[in-house]
Structures are given as C-alpha cells and as structure tokens.
Amino acid sequence: MMRGPLLTFVGPRFHTTKVRRTLYQSRPRAIPPSGLLANLLRGRFSRVILTGAFLADAAAAVDNKLNVSGGVLSRFAVGPDRLARFVLVVLTQSNPGSTDRQLTVEARPPADAEATRLQFEVPEAAVAEFPGFAFFEIQLRLPIDGRWELVASSDTGSVTLPVLVTEMPQQLGF
C-alpha cells in the first residue's frame, strides 16, 4: 500500500489529497493542430496583402529565404525585338478572409496605347509565411521608348514600379 499524497485530477488543476489515492484522467483528446497547419486548415493566410514589389534580373528561394541577383531594376535597354525579360518580386503579408490569391500586373505605356495585363496566382506558401514573398518571370514586348509603369495589384492594394525603356545603342563593328 502506498503512503503519502498523490496527484488527483479535479477540474482544470492538479492538487494533492490524502483521501483519494488514485489518479483520475480525462479521456484522451486529439490535440488540435497549431502554427502554420492550423492557420491553413482554418482558412487563414489565404488572402494576399501586397506590401512591396521590385524588379530584378533573377530571384530564387534558397532555404526558404529570398535570394535576388541583379539588384533593383529601374531601366531597360531593349533590342530590335523590343522584348524585356525580368523577374517581378512581390513581398506579401497574409490576411484572414477571402481565398483570393490573384495578382494582376499591368504594364502601362508612356503614350495613350492599350495597357498589357497579366494575371498570376500567388502560391499558398507565399501567403502562409509572415512576411512572405513570391516571384514571377515576365517577358514583355515594350514597343515604345519612355517611362512605363508596371502596376502590381491585389484586392487589398497596389504597387507602381516606374521603368525607363530605351533602345539598345547600335554597336559599331570593326
């Protein structure tokens, strides 16, 4: 026979008693998920808040960190094909609410020409982290020299990136 007090479960606390010498346990309960999994299951972190954007030559995710090369681009010299290739990097934040993860990129020319619209879906992992990021390789034909505006927007805001487009200078051959 045991001597001394034992822990007895009564309500939300453990306490000692000399009357009962058994340990009462509640039925085992499933432990609810926590952290990132819980937020994804509850539908959180599904709406994109766009907090920033910039253009770069290249971007990659290395060890869940953003790795950018080429710096922040603000001008392009296009060749005879008038194509500009770059990576749009967006910085995101999560917001509970709708499941909209759409990102619209609009390239507005300097003249009164028609703007080019592109649609992207931000990966769920990019809005599940705080802060998050995503990047998209873009190739656009920019037929007019001058100041273009690239507008990246989600349902909660937008970021405007001015880009100066010029024709690549002709190289003299010897």
Which one is the CATH code of 46-167: 3.40.1830.10, 3.30.70.20, 2.60.40.10, 3.40.50.620?
Answer: 2.60.40.10
Q: Round the average pLDDT of the chain to a whole number and report it.
A: 75
Look at 174 and 100; give whichever has higher pLDDT. 100
Q: What is the DSSP string of 37-86?
A: HHHHHTT-S-EEEEEEEEEESEEEEETTEEEEES----EEEE-TT-EEEE
Task: Give the pLDDT of residue 83.
Answer: 92
Q: Over 60: is that where the pLDDT of 147 sits?
A: yes
Q: Give me the residue spans of the domains in the chain.
A: 46-167
